[in-house]
Chain A
Amino acid sequence: MEPILEMKSVGKRFGSKSALEGVSFKAGAGRIIGLLGSNGSGKSTIMKIASGIIHPTSGEARICGEPIGLQSKAMTSFMPDKPLTEPWMRVRDAVAFYRDFYADFDSVKAQEMLSFMGLSEREKITSLSKGMNERLQLSLALSRNAKLYLLDEPIGGVDPVAREKILDAIVQYYSEDSCLIISTHLVTDIERIFDEVIFIKNGQLAMHEEVDHIRMTHGKSVVDLFKEVYA
């Protein structure tokens, strides 16, 4: 079966600094994958390359066999670490924006998610708290019926209650025939939802394993292994 996301020897340099080096992995359908690493390890760069925001310096990334471009952008739903909305918008404008530009946007799912997250359509985005804003960004990203979901630090900087709500929403609303990649360094809170984990260290792939395999063969939780790798 064709992988949803395939990265082949992807490298990225910003000037003289190497952000990624020879990263290769495949991500299949029906999997929730944790892209784990410490700050500055290259997680966001991988996300940005897969979403088409930046181009790799070397290697190649493909989404459902398509090279990164307009077609891959139409199949990928990316929630970056910065807002996907614009300051003048109300929640309903942000939903309308997605409906206007993405053919796979599901308005019914969006309404359900907004209600689940406790968001009102009339609220101004600038008046939302950080946690509520994260919930909105996640609602927008998951309301699309995309092939690949990329969530960059979806629980960074929100309180534990909001974290639980966000994780519940991710599990409830993501579709089984797609692949979901979540980058984070807050492993403890999010470990329970992962099927696979990818460890990125200094711009290189340090490990790509199934979570069950880690527990059985290493006899450790993902958090323990994470501490071991990044110690």
Chain B
Amino acid sequence: MLKLLKYDWKRNATMSLAGLIILLVAQIVNLTVGWRNGWNEQFVIVIACLLFFFSGFLVFLMACQTFGANLKAYSRRLLPLPTIYTIASPLVLMFGLSLVLFLVFAAFDAVFAAMYDKEASFLSLLAEQLTFGEAALAIALAIWGSLFTSLVIFFSMAFSRIVEGKGGTFLGIIVCILIFVTVPWVEDILFSPEQIYGLIRLSPLESGNGSMTLTFGSANSLEWLTLAFEAGVLICLIYGTIFLIERRIKL
């Protein structure tokens, strides 16, 4: 698996490093120009966050593109390796690059706090507000969401390859939309009373002035049945993708 990851990285190394350098330059420009011209700090942080989100989206696209290229490559399909590695390798690459992005964000956060004379950085404030369990849960849910989304896209990409030409592309898009619509709908019917949204039990508290706050807690607030259902869907997606690669996709 690590060897596959090595070659997936090599394939994307030039683009990834170029993207990282552009992100770093853009963030440095955002920080220094904003600081020198006395820009509102909220404006600077919003621009920075937008750049980070955009970079994260590009990392996700890169993982999908890598998976798509591996589906079509003889060099990968002929390897005497389990097919699941074809799915796992771009995912590991995506999470690895996301970690790098997070580290760059942490560095940006520290520099931002120092330049704008903040008492504490954004991340340290967040760490004060959340317990270890809550932080771990938030990270786990982010990973779960990314994993689920990626696997739906991978399955749809594999599905689209069973029909050649534009028909296949449209088929893939329809399958993707169907899964994204059907899974929450089924979850809603099977598990969700009014106050549950997704995997976490959110408790809406309404005050008299019309504002509403939502609170969620630690692992106790997780909807385990929903999680088990999504885990089941995830396993089906993985097996479905493996089946399509091994049995249905023509090279």
Q: Which of A's residues lie within 8 Å of B, judged by CB?
A: 14, 48, 51-55, 70-71, 73-74, 78, 80, 82-86, 88, 93, 97, 100-102
Contact = CB atoms under 8 A, between A and B. Distances in A.
A141 B128 CA distance: 59
Nearest to A48: B251
B74 A82 contact: yes
A53 B251 contact: yes
Contacts of B205: none
A52 B78 contact: yes
Interface-centre pick from B79, B82, B250 (highest chain A CB count, 10 A):
B79
B53 interface: no
Contacts of B7: 86, 97, 100
Contacts, number: 51
A82 B76 CA distance: 13
Interface in B202-251: 246-247, 250-251
Nearest to A51: B78
A84 B251 contact: no
Given A53-B77, A82-B251, A88-B10, 17 more contacts: A53-B251, A54-B251, A55-B246, A70-B80, A70-B81, A73-B79, A73-B80, A74-B80, A78-B74, A80-B251, A82-B74, A83-B75, A85-B75, A86-B7, A86-B75, A88-B11, A93-B10
A73 B83 CA distance: 12
A73 to B, nearest CB: 4
Nearest to A14: B250
Is chain B's binding surface mostly helix, strand, loop or mixed? helix
A84 B78 contact: yes
A80 B81 contact: no
Contacts of B81: 70, 101
Interface of B: 3, 6-7, 10-11, 14, 69, 73-75, 77-82, 246-247, 250-251
A172 to B, nearest CB: 24
8 closest A-B pairs by CB: A74-B80, A73-B80, A70-B80, A100-B3, A80-B74, A84-B75, A101-B79, A55-B247
Nearest to A83: B74
B123 to A, nearest CB: 36
A12 to B, nearest CB: 10
A101 B74 contact: no
B173 to A, nearest CB: 21
Given A86-B75, A100-B3, A101-B81, A54 B11 contact: no
B60 to A, nearest CB: 21
A19 to B, nearest CB: 10
26 contacts: A52-B78, A53-B74, A53-B77, A53-B251, A54-B251, A55-B246, A55-B247, A70-B81, A70-B82, A71-B80, A73-B79, A73-B80, A82-B251, A83-B74, A84-B74, A86-B11, A86-B73, A86-B75, A88-B14, A93-B10, A97-B7, A100-B6, A101-B3, A101-B79, A101-B80, A102-B80
Nearest to B82: A70
A97 B246 CA distance: 22
A62 to B, nearest CB: 16
Contacts of A14: 250
